[in-house]
Amino acid sequence: MTETETDPLIATARELLSARLVARTWGNLSRRLSPESYLITPSGRDYTEMAPNDLVEVTFDGDWIGDLKPSGERGLHTTVYRERGDAKFIIHTHQPYASALSLGGDLDLPSDLAARVGSSVLPVAEYGLPSTRKLHQAVADAMWHTGSRAILMRAHGAVLFGEDPEELVDLAQSLEVFCAEVVTDLTGAETCGSVRRFVRDGFGLPPQVVHIFMRREDAGAVIGDDSPLLLEFRETGLSAYLDDYAQLIGLRAGKTFGTNLIFGCKAAYFLGADLAEAEAAREVSRKNALAAKVAASLGASPLPRLDSTIMRAVYRWKYSKLKDGG
């Protein structure tokens, strides 16, 4: 395949990004090449810049071909391909409402969705840290117990598999609509609000933003969001309920300046080296806020402190460098 041709994995990744089912470099996709090998997206590579030669061939034994390292969740893909011979494509998403509902139990599905996923319920796999055998085994158990080809991974996201990538994207979107309805009925979350974007050398910066730039020399951009969904946590702070929030923001965010989410008087502020990074922090934080509200309704707890600390350290020293080409 030449650089000018587009692999279906790349086209599908960009569809997922456009539909906000993944953000930044989170999530991953693969397609089966043979009974014991598959092609997968690389670790830490921006979907908007990905080329066919960036995709990595991986064998079921864990070996890979190419200069780039495959996604850290390749073990998850290997597990699904081994267990389900009918799986030709796999997508792993971090879609907001489905991720929030992963803090609960299996969800009863309406008949139309049940027919599409092959199960009367949308199962939730037990928690395991990303890229661990514990997580992969939990997904395998959920597949065996329900037969579903769409599975939520607790505090993480969703994995879907099938024969056609376009059908999988449509299924992921349909599940997200269903999950959004459930979350809204369960929590009454108000997600609307105004958003303002600022860069360090911009004109007419509000005093709060000027203060942030003065305190955080590493920040090149700030995004303010005054939605009730976020401001509900202004006084209490927002703990980590989802893996990607723990990775990007940390154990907990409040009014202090040590994280990339800072609660101000009238808005929540998200920081990044540029607007793209600040937007990623915003998207992940809004999703985590949804998860926090679901947790409050269902009696679920935040992520264990040690797990959050581990994930934050791994992200800072590994994935952020990959994103920057390091």
For residue range 102-161, what is the model confidence (pLDDT) as tens digits?
999 999 999 999 999 999 999 999 999 999 999 999 999 999 999 999 999 999 999 999
Do 145 and 180 belong to one domain? Answer: yes
Query: What's the confidence (pLDDT) of residue 5?
Result: 55
- For the ranges 19-23, 59-63, 90-94, 161-165, the lowest mean pLDDT is seen at 19-23
Do 62 and 180 belong to one domain? Answer: yes
Do 276 and 140 belong to one domain? Answer: no
Distance CA 16, CA 305 (A): 31
Do 215 and 96 belong to one domain? Answer: no
From residue 8, alpha-carbon distances to 1, 19, 75, 169 in Å are 12, 16, 21, 12
Contact in structure between 100 and 179 (CB atoms under 8 Å)? yes
Residue 211: CATH number of its domain: 3.40.225.10
Do 254 and 297 belong to one domain? Answer: yes
Last residue of a domain, one of 186, 213, 245: 186
Domain presence at residue 2: no
Last residue of a domain, one of 186, 211, 233: 186
Query: What's the confidence (pLDDT) of residue 325?
Result: 47
Do 33 and 161 belong to one domain? Answer: yes
End-to-end CA distance of the chain: 26
pLDDT in tens, 247-286: 999 999 999 999 999 999 999 999 999 999 999 999 999 9
Do 151 and 252 belong to one domain? Answer: no
Contact in structure between 323 and 25 (CB atoms under 8 Å)? yes
Residue 180 has pLDDT above 90, yes or no: yes
Q: By residue range, what is the domain housing residue 103?
A: 8-186
Residue of higher predicted confidence among 257 and 323: 257
Last residue of a domain, one of 146, 167, 186: 186
Query: What's the confidence (pLDDT) of residue 321?
Result: 59
Do 209 and 181 belong to one domain? Answer: no
Do 104 and 220 belong to one domain? Answer: no
Contact partners, residue 282, CB within 8 Å, separation at least 6: 195, 223, 225, 270
Closest CA to 283 of 20, 45, 17, 15: 20
Write phi, then psi, for 272 (nearest 5 degrees).
-165, 165
Mean pLDDT of 158-169: 96
Domains identified in the chain, total number: 2
Distance CA 297, CA 299 (A): 6
